[in-house]
Each structure stands twice: as structure tokens, then as C-alpha cells.
Amino acid sequence: MATLMIQGTTSDAGKSTVVAALCRVLARRGVSVAPFKPQNMALNSAVTVDGGEIGRSTALQAQACYLEAHSDMNPVLLKPETDRGAQVILRGKVYGHMDALDYHAFKRTAQESVMAAWRALESRFDVVIAEGAGSPAEINLREGDIANMGFAEAANCPVLLVGDIDRGGVFAQLVGTLALLSESEQARTKGFIINRFRGDITLLEPGLEWLQAHTGKPVLGTLPYLQGLVLDSEDSIGTIQAEKKSQVINIIVPALPRISNHTDFDPLRLHPQVALTFVGPEQTIPPADVIILPGSKSTASDLAWLKRQGWDNAIQRHLRYGGKVLGICGGFQMLGEWVDDPDGLEGQPGKVAGLGLLPLTTRMVPGKQLRNVSGVLVGETTTTTGYEIHNGISEGPALDRPLFDINGRPEGSVSEDGQIIGTYLHGLFDHPEACHALLKQLGLSDGEQSDYQAHRERELDRLADMLEAYVDIEAVIRLIEAGASPLR
């Protein structure tokens, strides 16, 4: 059994995609492989087969391995609630809320969970492909590190370092990162992968030769910039360009400060008949057919932000002109009359007025709801699947008109006039039949079916094909085979 770790010179250097690609390459070759991310900070998360919560990018890597996501794959997940504090998820379950200094002191305890989860994975799989977080060269965070070299040292595994040439300065990234590592960390860094290259490779080759001569470490591959690659992002709202047809439905989404699971919208952004726009702070709120209020990690504070930005008035005007409104998870809670957080589970304790569009009240209670669900749209035979990740429990007469029937349990709400819809389900647009039926409810009468799950599979295979073509996979496999740790 062996572990290989992929680390990056910066955030968004391409670690997640390289891990996903490598997982799919090995899985296609029949290798028993699993992904592992010791620590992640993200607001995009997924519910696991064992009822836990992990980062969405790790769940995608599990799919690359043809596996269901498990909480062992991402034992520490930090979900930011403010600029200085986060909810701490430990092996899939909420551990508590900590500010940055408290968490720094807590990392010794967190490392025990990290190593236990890694050992559990290694007992079930032949190969583990681990992913770092940010950069290993953050010297202010090196004490007690569990995300990068701290884990690699404890697991005694080899490391490959990824640099993003599209940002510029890739040689400085790689050499500088290596220089800030300890001697043992430099020794376990076995080579480099350069990501997102555009142009003639012959112009890059003198630099690659210099890098190998200067560091004594090989460049195992230079990956081309993949145009149009769309896969679940870890956190940032990326740009997705898709060709649109003449008949489209215009959807706008407020880019909340603590927006969570915005990957819900990737299927819509790729749909040929949907024009979806995120509207950021201080931007003019444009006219649209549908407004979707997304999930939020801090519902009350994001609700206050919405009101300061004028969305409450814009939504009322939108409804008067016959527009539709959909609220997902935190956005569903905002549609109600009150959001009550007596214990301050998502910020300051207190009760705040909602948008008053649905007769319901939400109370934040300890014990997060985490579950994968399946059911049907009320009044139809369309099957849907999704997942719930939320603290609040909503009550009120609005729930007497549910959107879904989840195995006999009513879920969500639809207003009497059909203009306002709310649900706790994430991932509701991922499957073609459900996406088609929901878009019809939102006003796209003659819509096409768009299969986002099939799209994910194609993109994962596209990544794997790229890795096979541009990386010395046999050299990577030799590293994995040589990476068996005496700690096992």
C-alpha cells in the first residue's frame, strides 16, 4: 500500500484537477485507489455515504475513482463563517466553531484525526493520492502543519509539486517554494508538474532544462491549458462559457459573501437554454425571468447583506412583473418570515426578519442535517436526487405545499401562485429529468434535457487522457510503488 501527495505552489495551481486526473488514470487501469485531502477550507461540500460532510472537490475525486465519497477522504473541513472564524468539520461531523488562533492551537488534535482517517483508507485501498492545500511554503503556518508537508512527513510519502505557468513566474514559484522547505521536505519532493501551458513547448524547453539542472529534480510533465474545462470548483465562482440557443431563460443569482455550494448552478451555466449571471456587491440588479437565492454558511448575515444591496425591493418588483423566485437551503430560509439563531450557530445570536415571501420560520438548532436523498417532484413522476447540509429546521404553513416527496416526507415549498419555490436540496439540477422538470416550473416551457452527470464523467476522462498524454505516468507509478511507508 502506498501514498503519493500532490502539492501546489499556490492556491488554484491545479492540485485538485491533477489528483482527479491521476485517480481516474489509475482507476481505469484497475488500481484500487482513493483520494485524500487532510485539510480543506471550502464552502462547497458534499454528503458522504457514511453520513458525513467533505469538500466538494474531494467528492469529485472519489467519483474519478468510481467510488462513493467517504468522510475519511477529507478528515478536516473548515467552513468559513467570518474573515477570522470557521466551522470545523472533523471526520465528517461538526466539531465546533473556532477563530484562526484557536484552530492553530487545535491542530495537534486535528492531526490525530487526519492520521486515523489516512490509515483507515490505506487499509481499504492499494493506493492513496493525497492533495495539499494552498502552498507548503507558507512559513507562518508551518508550525503544526497538517495540510501539506506536515502530513507528508508524518506519512513518509513522496510529493510532486504543481506550478501554474498561466499566472506567470512558474520557475520562481517552483524554485522559491522548494527553497523554503526543510532538507527532509526538499528530499521527499520528487519532481514537478507544470500546469496550464499555452504555446510552443520548444520555447519552454530551455527553462525546463535549467529547472532540472538547478534543482536536481525532474519535470514529469507539462500540462496544456484545457479550454472549456468545467468541473466542481473548490470555492471560487469560476467563469463558465457555454453556447446558448435563441430561446433561453434568464436567471440571476446574488453572489453572497458566504455563498455555499454554488456548484448547484454549474448544470444551469452549461445548459444551452439557460443564461445564468452571478450579481456581485454594488452591481446593478438586472431584469430576469428567475431569481435564485443560493445556499449560505451564514444565513442571517447574508440576508442582511441582501437587504443592504437592495435585493429585497428588487425581488418584490420582480414578483409584481410575474417573475419566479427559487431559494435553495439558506436561500430557502431567507424566503420565510423569520430566521432565529438563539445559540449563534452561524454568527451572532438573535432573530432577524426574513424576506416574508413564504409563511415559515427557521430556527437554527445544534445537529446539522446531513443526508443524501431521493424522491419525486410533487404532482409528477420525475425522480430526483440531492443532498441536504443545513443547521436550520423550518416550520410553518408554507410546508403544506411541498416541492418534493422524499420517500413519503414532504420537502420544500411552492407558493399558491407558483411564483415562489424553496427547497433544502442541493444538487437538484444535476440529473437531466429533474433539471428539465424544474426548469419547466421556472418558466422554460420547451426545454431540452442536459445531463450534468454525464458531463462530469466526460471531463474526468478528458483530464485523464491529458495526463496520459503529457505526464510520464510510468515515472509517477514508480514513485507510488517506492512510496510504501514503514509506518504502515
**Residues identified as active-site:** 329, 426
CA angle in degrees (0–180, nearest 5) for 234-235-238: 95
Closest CA to 79 of 229, 301, 294, 235: 235
What secondary structure does DSSP assign to 407-464, as a single string?
TTEEESEE-TTS-EEEE--BSTTSSHHHHHHHHHHTT-TTPPP--HHHHHHHHHHHHH
How does 253-264 read in b/e, with b if 16+ C-beta sit within 10 Å? bbebbbbbbbbb
* Cα–Cα dist 169/176, whole Å: 10
Rounded Cα distance between 19 and 58, Å, is 9
Matching residue, cell 532540472: 212
Do residues 404 and 425 touch, judged by C-beta distance below 8 A?
yes
Apex 485 CA angle, 483 and 488, nearest 5: 140
End-to-end CA distance of the chain: 8
Q: Who contacts 297 (Cβ-Cβ below 8 Å, separation ≥6)?
A: 43, 79, 80, 81, 87, 258, 260, 330, 346
In sequence order, what are the beta bridge partners of 194? 163, 222
Distance CA 441, CA 421 (A): 9
Contact of 273 with 249, CB cutoff 8 Å: yes
Report the 10 Å Cβ neighbour count for 93. Answer: 14
E strand residue ranges, 271-411: 274-279, 290-293, 295-296, 324-328, 338-341, 350-353, 361-377, 383-395, 404-406, 409-411
CA distance 206 to 183: 27
What is the C-alpha R_g of the chain?
23
| Edge-to-edge strands, sheet with 219-224 | 33-36, 127-131, 2-8, 159-164, 189-197, 219-224
Closest CA to 24 of 451, 426, 387, 471: 471
Q: Which three cell numbers stand for residue 295?
A: 445556499
